[in-house]
Structure 1
Amino acid sequence: MKKLFFPALPVLLISTFLSCSNNKKEITTENKTEANSAAAATNGKIKLMTLDPGHFHAALVQKSMYPNVDPLVHVYAPAGQDIDEHLKRISQYNSRAENPTQWQEDVYTGPDFLEKMLQTKPGNMVVMSGNNQKKTEYMKAAVDAGLNVLADKPMAITTQNFDLLKEAFASAEKNKVMLYDIMTERYEITTMLQREFSRLPDVFGTLQKGTAADPAITKESVHHFFKYVSGSPLKRPAWFFDVRQQGEGIVDVTTHLVDLVQWEAYPEQTIDYTKDVKLTSARHWQTKLTPTQFKTVTQLDSYPDFLKKDVVSDSLLGVYSNGEINYQLKGTHAKVSVIWNFEAPEGAGDTHFSIMKGTKANLIIRQGKEQNYKPVLYIEPAAGTDLNAFEETLKTGLATVQAIFPGVTVEKTGKIWTVTAPEKYHNGHEAHFGQVTEKYLEFLASGKMPEWEVPNMLAKYYTTTKALELARKKK
């Protein structure tokens, strides 16, 4: 059955103002024909479809409008909490006081939702962000049908998924469509600046090779099950805590970290996972949640049956959400790790630590209490460096960075320089979804992606899925 969802406050639908409740409403055949005709008459070349949006990232893609994208979005999903929460978020964006969106959601919730989407194909671009157990299969089916896919991470959570992902990329190339993942962290300003300063040989030198005990690159990400999204407490689906459906932390959030290692250490270079990636070690461990904590984030009174096998002593739910990977990339030693806690300290949120070690300086991102839980980039010259000479070199290098990011400054404190970017660059994690989408739309408009993107996506998911395999062998 098809339904059209309208937000709680009056919004413009075609040329008529309608006001209704938060409930999804039926649309008559007459009105539906009018809506489809109007949609066909728009100038937008991209028509969105959203498939099984079980994760809030699917809605964040629609937090903004895009000039070349039709406002009518076709959604295919099973009926239930996931689709209801997704539509509520879209409604909030449509109803907000500042820069409201104008999305119209045409929703199909039959059990054959995937087949229906592939059959009818009312759009040419599919957004996927939800339960990861079948996501790789969904992607393969979509590109086989000649559809472009923008997928949230992770694209693969097992080595079996990785094998299917390789087939999906081959199919996308054959059918001349684009398969791309949502790497929001490339748009975080301190990470972008860390990358730019690392490309200044007079300041950074060259990237060290490091060792397994002392890697040249280390990245650590701390996340929280309880958090706020778009100003409201996030309600997570129960399956999010099942690693068979969500994926372990070592194949989930670490996707971003592995991507950043590749993107910063070897910018715009193609990586061949068959010879450039060598795993050294990997480990994983559980975060344990109380029944009260689980209820707080899911609003469920008890664990569903599929989670009961993960309940340990004292009714605690054990989730393998933490992981660490030590590996070599083109001979450079790197370490990435992800940690999940229940809730952040007061005033804090998800945090990131990163260090790139150069022969002339280290580039360090910290986001702790001292930084008011906001990421800050520091430049630390190598031991024995003439600081006065380094400062002059840094001034010259800064001009190169400022040509890309006007307004960026550096300030010396002791033997370390702090890099400061104007507030306009600190637009927040949620805004990065729009930036990724805009980049993907540019790829679609030009008909091509950079040549290194696909092989590097494969390298990334090879690294994470093989690391999971290694971590499980050590149990």
Structure 2
Amino acid sequence: MQLIALDPGHFHASLVQQEQYPGVDTTIKVFAPAGKEVEQYLQQVANYNQKDSPKVYWATDVYTGPGYLQRMLQCERGSIVILAGNNRLKPAYIQAATRAGMHVLADKPMAIDAAGFDSLKAAFATAAANHTQLYDIMTERYEIHNVLQKALSQIPAIFGTPEKGEPGNPAVIKKSIHHFKKTVAGKPLVRPAWYMDTREQGEGITDVTTHLVDLVQWTCFPEQELDYLKDISINSARAWPTMLNKTQYAAITGETEYNAALQSVVGKDGLLPVYANGSFDYNIRGLHARITVQWDYEAPEGGGDTHYSLLKGSKAALLVLQDKEQQYRPTLYIQPVENSAAYTKILHEQFALLNKQYPGVALREAGDKWEVIVPAALIEVHEQLFARVMKRFLQYVQAGEMPAWEISAMLAKYYTTTQAREKAGR
């Protein structure tokens, strides 16, 4: 199988190259416009090749110049196109690749507005007709605290029955906080200027929320087909900007001046409004959920991106916290409705069984809650999870089909986020 990196403008494009895969050509074909973005991608791939392990060595066959997309479309049918970059361009790239009979593994989001969602629907139909696979990179399904939160929610003796919640009082709440200025693999991350333009990158309400909505579906309706027209409705939504000054913009992008496109939205005070923040309440099959994403300029000292996740059950709430109190490490708690001796006994009995599947997982009393102790052997850093997604995708490619629930989940997810954007008036 041939891998193709198409216009790799985001560092996620290289993360699937941290490993090599049986049956996959070790030469990656790269098609992109010339510039810093493709240079950074090639440098990162080269960095992986320089690691101690002899198991990873990628060669690259690179074309940068005019007509790069047309050149890419001349590659063999059945090639695998990796997409991570400008989100406004993704729908056209996905459409072109699927029409050419190629598989597509795309970084989120695959759609940033209603028009993009319509394009995505058409691409899934094209992929089905050409017997190819179209998939997005949902790394958070493999993060161990999310895995364990889902597993615990499937144990009635611990969780009980899922609460449905009500408008204004959701039963599921997910929030993540991110930062424009950050360090990746020990080096300051330089973002392209278009990343700060939500017309190119997409607004927060349709970007990072993709992961959060996916987790709601994956956790609460596992392997169930969803009908987005019948099962989903947006109750309320709002979006707001992070205001950046020129010094902060320069620290993020390496550019000393706003580009022409951004100049049109910069205020008289010289501040750039980046609509990276959003929140919405919605109903999915009677379950009330709230999704919130927030982008700050820079993380507090010792901190980084954070994740909050709450699931309410009749016997207990399951809570993932990641803040200063937890030293910014994700921590999973079980909050019993009634923390009785009988419930404690059941909890320990169930964890003895859970330990067979997740060795080393244990309980520790934490006031009126129970902390779930996760051994280091089960914890993988975020960058490692991309290979997990790649391996799952390759299984679908080799099988020649993808479960129907996966396709319905992607359509439901992007319908949710793009409809939330519409509801927010953005």
Query: Normalising by the residue count of structure 1, what TM-score does the alignment of the two structures yield?
Result: 0.88
- 1:126 aligned partner, one-letter code: V
Matched residue SS, 2:345: helix
Q: Which runs of 4+ in 1 moved over 6 A?
A: none
Q: CA deviation digits over 1:276-324, x for unaligned, max 9?
A: 0011001000001111111111111100001112212421111000000
- 1:90 aligned partner, one-letter code: V
Give yes or no for contact 2:78–2:103 (8 Å, CA) kept in 1: no
Give yes or no for contact 1:48–1:123 (8 Å, CA) kept in 2: no
Match of 2:253 among 291, 298, 313: 298
Query: What are structure 1's unaligned runs of at least 5 residues?
Result: 1-45
Q: Distance in 2 between matches of 1:401 and 1:233?
A: 40
Match of 2:368 among 415, 428, 441: 415
Q: 2:174 matched to 1:219? A: yes
Q: Distance in 2 between matches of 1:343 and 1:99?
A: 36
Residue-pair matches, total: 426
Which structure has the larger Rg over C-alpha atoms? 1
The aligned counterpart of 1:461 is 414
The aligned counterpart of 1:256 is 211
Give yes or no for contact 2:78–2:132 (8 Å, CA) kept in 1: no
Q: Distance in 1 between matches of 2:345 and 2:136?
A: 40
Q: CA deviation digits over 1:52-84, x for unaligned, max 9?
A: 000000011112222332110000101111111
- 1:355 aligned partner, one-letter code: L
Q: 2:424 matched to 1:471? A: yes
Q: 2:407 matched to 1:436? A: no
Give yes or no for contact 1:74–1:122 (8 Å, CA) kept in 2: no
Q: 2:200 matched to 1:245? A: yes
Cα offset for 1:131? Answer: 0.3
- 1:387 aligned partner, one-letter code: S
* Greater displacement, 354-363 / 418-427: 418-427
Match of 2:116 among 139, 142, 161: 161
* Greater displacement, 403-412 / 104-113: 403-412
Give yes or no for contact 1:93–1:100 (8 Å, CA) kept in 2: no
The aligned counterpart of 2:356 is 403
The aligned counterpart of 1:376 is 331
Matched residue SS, 1:137: helix
Give yes or no for contact 1:250–1:323 (8 Å, CA) kept in 2: yes
Counterparts of 1:2-401 in structure 2 under 5 Å?
Answer: 46-97=1-52, 101-121=56-76, 124-382=79-337, 385-401=338-354
- 2:287 aligned partner, one-letter code: T
- Change in Cα spacing, 1:424 to 1:235, as seen in structure 2 (3 Å) is same
The aligned counterpart of 1:29 is none
Matched residue SS, 2:28: strand
Identity %: 49
Give yes or no for contact 1:288–1:318 (8 Å, CA) kept in 2: yes
Q: CA deviation digits over 1:371-401, x for unaligned, max 9?
A: 110100000001xx25211111112221342
Cα offset for 1:100? Answer: 6.9
Give yes or no for contact 1:74–1:123 (8 Å, CA) kept in 2: no
Give yes or no for contact 2:78–2:101 (8 Å, CA) kept in 1: no
Give yes or no for contact 2:131–2:401 (8 Å, CA) kept in 1: no
Q: Distance in 1 between matches of 2:353 and 2:391?
A: 25
Cα offset for 1:464? Answer: 0.3
Give yes or no for contact 1:250–1:324 (8 Å, CA) kept in 2: yes
- 1:204 aligned partner, one-letter code: F
- 2:155 aligned partner, one-letter code: L
Give yes or no for contact 2:193–2:253 (8 Å, CA) kept in 1: yes
The aligned counterpart of 1:426 is 379
Q: Which has the higher contact order (CA 8 A, sep 6+)?
A: 2
Q: Distance in 1 between matches of 2:178 and 2:298?
A: 8
Q: CA deviation digits over 1:163-189, x for unaligned, max 9?
A: 110000011111100000000111111
Query: Normalising by the residue count of structure 2, what TM-score does the alignment of the two structures yield?
Result: 0.98
Query: What are structure 2's unaligned runs of at least 5 residues?
Result: none
- 1:457 aligned partner, one-letter code: M
Give yes or no for contact 1:55–1:82 (8 Å, CA) kept in 2: yes
Alpha-carbon RMSD: 1.3
Cα offset for 1:212? Answer: 1.9
Q: Distance in 2 between matches of 1:84 and 1:123?
A: 26
Matched residue SS, 2:214: helix
Matched residue SS, 2:425: helix
Q: CA deviation digits over 1:123-166, x for unaligned, max 9?
A: 71110000011101111111111101100000001101101100
- 2:30 aligned partner, one-letter code: V
Cα offset for 1:275? Answer: 0.5
- Change in Cα spacing, 1:123 to 1:456, as seen in structure 2 (3 Å) is closer
Matched residue SS, 2:9: coil
Cα offset for 1:227? Answer: 0.9
